Amino acid sequence: MSADGWGSVLVLGGIRSGKSAFAEALVAGAASVRYVATAVGGEDDPEWRERIESHQRRRPQSWTTEETGADPARLAALLTDAKPDDTLLVDDLGGWVAALLDPARQPNDDLATVTALAEAVQACSARVVLVSPEVGLSLVPATPVGRAFADALGTANQALAGACDRVAFVVAGRPAWLKSGPDEPAIVTDLQAENNAAPLTVDPVAMHDAMTAATPANGTPVLPRPEPPAPAGAEPPTPEEAVAAHRARTATAGALHAPTMVLPLVASGAVIEAGMDLPLPDSDAGPDARDRLAGVDLPGAGIGALLEAVEFAAATQATATPRPWGPVRVLLIAGRHGGGATAGADAADAARRADEAEAGTGALARLAATADADIVVVRTPATGAMEDGPVLDAEAVDAALRQGWALADAAAEDGRDVLVLASCGVGTEAAATAVLAATTGAEPVAVLPRVLVPGGFYDDAAWMVRCAAVRDAMHRIRQEPRGAKDILAQLGGADLAVATGALLGAAARRLPVLLDGPLGIAAGLVARDLASQARHWCLLPDAGNQALVVQGADVLGLTPVVQLGMDLGEGANALAVLPLLRSAIALAGALPVHPALLAGHGDGGLTADEDDTADDDSDDDRDFAEPEPHGPGPASA
């Protein structure tokens, strides 16, 4: 079991409930994930294959995929063989049960297979998140095969709920915790009854508070921790005493783990810490916008790669018909690092560019003027040489994070629709390289950008000095903690801390952020370790030609919208692409359904009004990671 009290989580949910996105968010902070796809079939269904490919595209390339559809018993073997530092995401048990009930595998002791899976989960030394459809809230299926599937899946869900440390139920994208501790008692399940298990007593706290505990209504939860055991020989409390004691114990923790959206963070002095709870974009609106585009009145085949921006805008606006972004705020962060990180850099030239942006001149300001964007220049304090020692103390890290949060909050209050992170600092690229190496294990010499000097020439001698600085810094911290704040204090500096705080504050205010350079990518990696939801509010318009940006974006799960290979300076690339993104979003949100589809309404076509809501009314349970098999399964049920 991990230090924060859980090793396994079962995520239940109905059709299009958002359970898969919720489960993915639970493991988003892991360095790598083994994604276990359980279902087979669907090769003859192009639309279903497109959905599968959409799931695959949103997984980071650092994830690996295992398939168990051909042999359901292999799932238990994978769990048994997993190592303590592994993270497994199983999506989902509906496909696993359907494969288990395949007539080709009958006769089979299905109950024994379910029991073996539950035992494997309970004994697994790795972190495991399992996704499963909840089929028990609808009518009893009318067909024998449907009833068999519902019964088998219900039995599996009960068995896994007993084996897992935590159980969450997701409804309409909102999770609620059904089980808050590995030893929390519940009712006698059907499986236990068949095995003549003794009834379990129900703890009054578990019934009164754990089942009704406030779960964040906006995304990934803070996992509840188990209650401390009662002292040996103590008299059992009355139900009223137990509830009062539980509330007293959790009063402070509940305040700290409340959704950040309702915490007056900057004003109250609350501390930004790992495990913060921030909102998530709407998990259904993006796919719904993609589906809607298939029928809109476009003269050609579609908007191509710009679909990534449309899905992002739809998810962050929680609508399948997003509107184009309005005013934009550019945060130009001018950092100053010391030591070898600044080799070949011209501090006076960097200061000149910041002054020009403030005065409305220079490349960044001209692009901002055409993109309806204003620029706020943020000059951060100088930080020391990372090869010599920590570049910031703990108080300075907290102050910089809070400053960034306040800047994002001010952008939202000023009515800005998007935040763009820009940089013109000295030594920032080397600091970002060190952060990428420390958080992902990347090789610094492979990702450190070359040192460009005026005239289009590269200073390779300065690049080698920067490499040496990053190498020495990595050696210095080899035995130091690698938490998010530790990384900022040891390597990142004030500019990266401000950028990290801005990403967290933007996520709290549901404000999309455009990233396109080393500062933004490094800040995204640190912000991910403080609040995994922050990366879901980020879009990468263009990755440019820097390996640092490409590799860091892959770890964050960000796919470049376009591949123009621009290198106009951090922030300027995003502003150059912004008008194109706005055009695509405007088309996707404003165009009606093609008249030919409306004409066929009598034969199953859609009216214009029905088109806007058709996706919301869908009852197609296709949350699985892979196609469901033909035969016993949800379709039959």
List, by residue number, the catalytic residues.
570
- Hey, what are 351's tokens? 């200061």
Q: Is 27 helix (H, G, I), strand (E, B) or coil?
A: coil
Q: Is 87 helix (H, G, I), strand (E, B) or coil?
A: strand
Q: Are 26 and 9 in contact (CB under 8 A)?
A: yes
Q: Are 631 and 98 in contact (CB under 8 A)?
A: yes
CA 374 to CA 368: how far, in whole Å? Answer: 6
Give me the count of residues in the chain: 637
Which residue shows structure tokens 């055409």? 370
SS (HEC) of 160-207: HHHHCCEEEEEECCEEEEEECCCCCCCCCCHHHHHCCCCCCCCCHHHH
- Hey, what are 339's tokens? 């030591």
How many Cβ atoms from other residues are within 10 Å of residue 234's Cβ? 8
- Give the list of residues 6+ apart from residue 228 with CB closer than 8 angstroms, or none: 249
CA 435 to CA 552: how far, in whole Å? Answer: 10
- Hey, what are 90's tokens? 């199983």
- C-alpha 121: how far from chain center: 24
How many Cβ atoms from other residues are within 10 Å of residue 32's Cβ? 15
CA 592 to CA 607: how far, in whole Å? Answer: 10
How many Cβ atoms from other residues are within 10 Å of residue 169's Cβ? 19
Running DSSP on this structure, what letter comes out for residue 601?
G
CA distances from 343 to 196, 384, 428, 466 (A): 73, 14, 11, 6
CA 456 to CA 116: how far, in whole Å? Answer: 64
Q: What strands lie across the sheet with 328-338, from one edge to the other?
A: 373-385, 328-338, 418-423, 513-514, 538-539
> Parallel, antiparallel, or unpaired: how do β-strands 328-338 and 8-13 relate?
unpaired
User: Could you tell me the sign of the dihedral formed by the alpha carbons of 335, 339, 344, 348, in that order?
Assistant: positive
CA 499 to CA 517: how far, in whole Å? Answer: 12
